[in-house]
Amino acid sequence: MLKPRSTATRELVRLDGLWRFALDSDEVRSPWGATLDTALEAPVPSSYNDVFADAAIRDHVGWVWYQRTVRVPRGWAGERVFVRVDAATHEGRVYIDDQLVAEHVGGYTPFEADITDLVAPGQEFRLTIGVNNELTNTTIPPGAITVDAQGRKKQQYFHDFYNYAGLARSVWLYSAPAVRVDDVTVVTDVDGADGLVRYDVALTADADVTVRIEDADGAEVGVAEGANGVVRIADVHLWQPGAAYLYDLVVEVRQDGDLVDTYTQAVGVRTVEVRGNQFLINGEPFYFTGFGRHEDTAVRGKGHDDAYLVHDFALMTWIGANSFRTSHYPYAEEVLEYADRHGFVVIDETAAVGLNYSVVSGFLGGPTVPTFGPDSVNDQTQAAHAQAIRELIARDKNHPSVVMWSIANEPDTAVDEARAYFEPLVALTRELDPTRPVTFVNVMLAPVGVDKVSDLFDVLCLNRYYGWYINTGDLEAAEANLEAELRGWEQMYGKPMLMTEYGADTIAGYHSVLDQPWTEEYQAAYLDMNHRVFDRIASFVGEHVWNFADFQTATGIIRVDGNKKGVFTRDRKPKAAAHALRSRWTAIGKEH
């Protein structure tokens, strides 16, 4: 799925701004059929939940409607016209006037529709987008809907971050020629001092393809003919963590010698490999420092915002982070493009979080049913999960920053059914992308020896909270238990091991000279304890603190206005631990 771009043959109009907005209700019938009768306006991109001071909107379960009028540029006669929605969380329906043109389930990946036959250049049309936030046992992520004694629909979900919904990313109108590039796949390799760019261009119709590679100064450094092939770049400038370098792969499509389409794909030449207990980028051992993050800010919820994008990367640079995981869903494409341009390394995760009913029942007061079963995680869930993997890889396969796929966060892998569930998903991931390692993120409830699936994956990613959820406030016991467990994993698998989550809730401004959970000192001491252990384990290839910043959660008795494990507050102020991490990670950065 190509990101729409403006090229010599393609034009792009961003449909962001204020849209008419209404909750679905008995009064709002077929709202695509006429101008939406509402006083509300909602910003796009933004989650809608926190924008209005209205609990009925914030807690709404079901459909909401966005609508605006759009004019097709007059110069688009003869072109195909598309509407593209970067994300509709979790289900979207797009109507052009009263015609349904697209339906999509999955809240964090894009979808589009060719609307050429329904619109006219120079003319206006009514664009209505319905968005549904419901999560069930067959969606990714899963959830459950109940109806309470007052007859209200309630959404329960099995992850702690708030179920923000709406159009949190941009909506686009774009033009492209009928004969065009439909997809581009790029895989890079290194041969001595040269770079190899294997490419595969899918077209909508037969045509001649030329591929040119330009360096960062725009000089042509390689060229090839044909829809697929290999371009050699002599004396290649590699894409390196912390030292990004991007080439442009310019695809030109010709018919009878005339240029009919052109599309430019950024390419970073780099290799990724797991060898023994090491994670190699460009043949060199790489040690991940950074965070599990969330797309989360005040007011916007999960709404993409370029100011926060730049600021968050600036803070990650300040603190010495070289990488992050897109916990727990695919992030906006702008985030990955920024990582590509600035040399950040990314573990790219699907939205498969909460496939674990034992965590749910233990922590979140959820159902006490087995994770895998006809009414919980079943074949349909697995099919939705497979689709989530397909869409993630289709969208993100060309990003040099993405070095590994994480296909789930903390699923229930303590039971035998997990194997049958995951085996085909791992095979699918490898088939779709044979070049990147595949991982999943293991939960404390499935420690070494209990977990049934880790042998299927390339890298062990663990979330461990010794000193927080267990051994609370007792860092001595925590240190011993953490080390014992990590040594167990190392002995059993000998694979590279990464701590993908470790963290302690911390209220900024709360202090103590004692080991008091919730204080800034405790967070720093807790992280320090973890680091002492990591440094003693040879197979350790990285540390991602949970979390970059405080973030909003569902209401509940274990969260006070959200999850406070951020190293930065929700408004991005450093807690004491930020300074300690900065010294450690900048020192690690200098060693590598």
**Catalytic site positions:** 410, 501
12 within 8 A of 172, measured Cβ to Cβ: yes
Residue whose C-alpha is closest to residue 530's, from 512, 544, 547, 509: 544
Rounded CA gap, 391 and 387, in Å? Answer: 6
Q: Tell me the number of residues near ligand GCB by CB under 6 A.
A: 10
* Subset of 455-514 contacting ligand GCB (CB under 6 A): 463, 501
Residue 16 Cβ vs ligand GCB, minimum distance, rounded to whole Å: 29
Rounded CA gap, 351 and 139, in Å? Answer: 10
Nearer to ligand GCB, 343 or 562 (CB): 562
Nearer to ligand GCB, 400 or 503 (CB): 503
Nearer to ligand GCB, 10 or 159 (CB): 159
Rounded CA gap, 455 and 332, in Å? Answer: 31
Residue 567 Cβ vs ligand GCB, minimum distance, rounded to whole Å: 13
Nearest 5 degrees, angle CA 307-CA 310-CA 316? 135
Nearer to ligand GCB, 295 or 410 (CB): 410
Kindly write out the interface string for residues 311-340 of this chain, putting x where it contacts ligand GCB by CB under 6 A and - elsewhere: -----------------x------------
Residue 268 Cβ vs ligand GCB, minimum distance, rounded to whole Å: 29
Nearer to ligand GCB, 159 or 397 (CB): 159
What is the per-residue DSSP string for 92-158? EEEEETTEEEEEEE-TTS-EEEE-GGG--TT-EEEEEEEEE----TTSSS-EEEEE-TTS-EEEEES
Question: How far, CA to CA in Å, does 439 sit from each of 122, 276, 393, 409, 455?
Answer: 49, 15, 14, 10, 10
Residue 303 Cβ vs ligand GCB, minimum distance, rounded to whole Å: 20
Name residues whose C-beta falls within 8 Å of residue 565's C-beta, 6 or more positions apart in sequence.
503, 504, 505, 506, 546, 547, 550
Question: How far, CA to CA in Å, does 26 sit from each of 22, 31, 379, 511?
Answer: 12, 11, 34, 52
Rounded CA gap, 265 and 5, in Å? Answer: 9
Kindly write out the interface string for residues 402-441 of this chain, putting x where it contacts ligand GCB by CB under 6 A and - elsewhere: -------xx-------------------------------
Residue 279 Cβ vs ligand GCB, minimum distance, rounded to whole Å: 21
Residue whose C-alpha is closest to residue 170's, from 133, 129, 200, 117: 129
Question: How far, CA to CA in Å, does 463 sit from each of 182, 429, 499, 545?
Answer: 39, 22, 6, 10
Nearer to ligand GCB, 44 or 418 (CB): 418
Residue 247 Cβ vs ligand GCB, minimum distance, rounded to whole Å: 36
Q: Verify binding: residue 159, ligand GCB, rule CB under 6 A.
A: yes
Residue 510 Cβ vs ligand GCB, minimum distance, rounded to whole Å: 17
Nearer to ligand GCB, 60 or 564 (CB): 564
Residue whose C-alpha is closest to residue 246's, from 287, 273, 225, 218: 218
* Subset of 366-395 contacting ligand GCB (CB under 6 A): none
* Subset of 526-565 contacting ligand GCB (CB under 6 A): 546, 563, 565
Kindly write out the interface string for residues 345-364 of this chain, putting x where it contacts ligand GCB by CB under 6 A and - elsewhere: --------------------
Binding site for ligand GCB (CB under 6 A): 159-160, 328, 409-410, 463, 501, 546, 563, 565
